[in-house]
Structure 1
């Protein structure tokens, strides 16, 4: 039987800054998960967090709008609508993810791109054999024996980075990548109720987001480290956003 030490993600923990950044992010999310309002009103916090995450994800696609306008249903923009659908389907897609990651990624694209792309392009990778090979490699990585020493933050960052770098679909790959990263955080138990909003962290540090994914695309150890550290920082920021939501819900 394969040993957990065969985890292909295990070497990433030793990259500069990765372990510390992941530890901080997990501590910040755990602090959020302990908030007292979640004993009775976790659904309200999760719903608001997912709304803010969807707004932020749309902004990263250059479709930014005021949160209150989106909350009021005043925005008729298919990219925003797609981001909202992705947020709303995270729980269901997580169930698919744990059995068939590629099917889950395709389902995320259908949710993200319906209304923006032709229906023949929905959920169908483009780009030929190279894309198929790399998607299969990502699936193999996700299904490999997982070491307990590999934080879920790293898993989510690699999923996010690979999908952004590969751009397997005709459009809205960023929305899919961020949605898949959220699914990975749920699936690995880092943020099981989707209470943090890392997309908000990516928006607040958008230049670093763009520079870090460019570094990741080089494939260098330093580039991968830079990306994971950025993703961990965005998760920490998303946990702070979640705490702010908790306090707002508590105040009524």
Structure 2
């Protein structure tokens, strides 16, 4: 697909540069924490959630509350364990992400973490799990885009599929070493280009070849822009003489 490999290379180089920023060589955890807040807010906003983010308090909006729980699970001490499970049992991790994302969206606890009972869905999720656990040599930015779009298309859960899909994309980036400290914030670009995001992810789900190519390009461009966002966060936190 024309343009995809160079776009993936640019995304990889940009994220590597973000990790080499002087403020991130030792203080990457501060950048990662700020990135998680921005990622959670943008992910919620893509799905129509509130953008009113109160950093010290509860979230009234259930979409934002779920997105922030997911974002915080992908930052800090819980991340290594989450990644370890993701690389060997990704469907288990998806269930965990869904519990976090949808906890305030339903009173039926039986719906949390459980995909729809559908044989075809089960087969597609099993195939996706195989890709995540190593059945592909695709570049990491491409794999992240495919996992993201496939989950958007499949809508395996009754609620919060978008938040889960974007978190899964982030986990691919972390587990493959593309963005090991979750510094990037591609969600900001997806929110800024939300109409394109929706159109191309729908086209991906429908199997349209050009939509698939453009979706891969959009995802790589978002990763590259998200790396620039990480650089700006790090630069703002850098001590001034």
Length-normalised TM-score, structure 2: 0.92
**Given the alignment of the two structures, is residue 120 of structure 1 paired with residue 120 of structure 2, yes or no?**
no
- Equivalent in the alignment of 2:41: 55
User: Could you tell me how far 1:204 is from its partner in structure 2?
Assistant: 1.5
The Cα offsets for residues 187-216 of structure 1, whole Å up to 9 and x where unpaired, read as 011000000011111112112111210221
- Equivalent in the alignment of 1:11: none
- Equivalent in the alignment of 1:198: 186
Alignment partners' CA distance in 1, 2:234 and 2:198: 30
The CA RMSD measured in Å over matched residues stands at 1.5
Mapped contact 2:87–2:132 kept (Cα < 8 A): no
In the alignment of these two chains, the number of paired residues is: 234
- Equivalent in the alignment of 2:64: 80
Identify the range of structure 1 (199-208 vs 178-187) with the bigger mean alpha-carbon deviation: 199-208
**Given the alignment of the two structures, is residue 163 of structure 1 paired with residue 147 of structure 2, yes or no?**
no
- Equivalent in the alignment of 2:127: 137
Mapped contact 1:55–1:70 kept (Cα < 8 A): no
**Given the alignment of the two structures, is residue 71 of structure 1 paired with residue 55 of structure 2, yes or no?**
yes
- Equivalent in the alignment of 2:169: 181
Mapped contact 1:131–1:168 kept (Cα < 8 A): yes
- Equivalent in the alignment of 1:105: 94
Length-normalised TM-score, structure 1: 0.88
- Equivalent in the alignment of 1:6: none
- Say which SS state the counterpart of residue 125 (structure 1) adopts: coil
Stretches of structure 1 that go unaligned for 5 or more consecutive residues are: 1-14
- Say which SS state the counterpart of residue 207 (structure 1) adopts: helix
Mapped contact 2:50–2:61 kept (Cα < 8 A): no
User: Could you tell me how far 1:39 is from its partner in structure 2?
Assistant: 2.4
- Equivalent in the alignment of 1:223: 211
Mapped contact 2:200–2:214 kept (Cα < 8 A): yes
Identify the range of structure 1 (221-230 vs 105-114) with the bigger mean alpha-carbon deviation: 221-230
The Cα offsets for residues 103-137 of structure 1, whole Å up to 9 and x where unpaired, read as 11111111111111221110101151121111111
Mapped contact 1:53–1:197 kept (Cα < 8 A): yes
Alignment partners' CA distance in 2, 1:71 and 1:240: 23
Question: Which of the residues 29, 38, 42 maps onto 2:24?
Answer: 38
Alignment partners' CA distance in 1, 2:68 and 2:59: 11
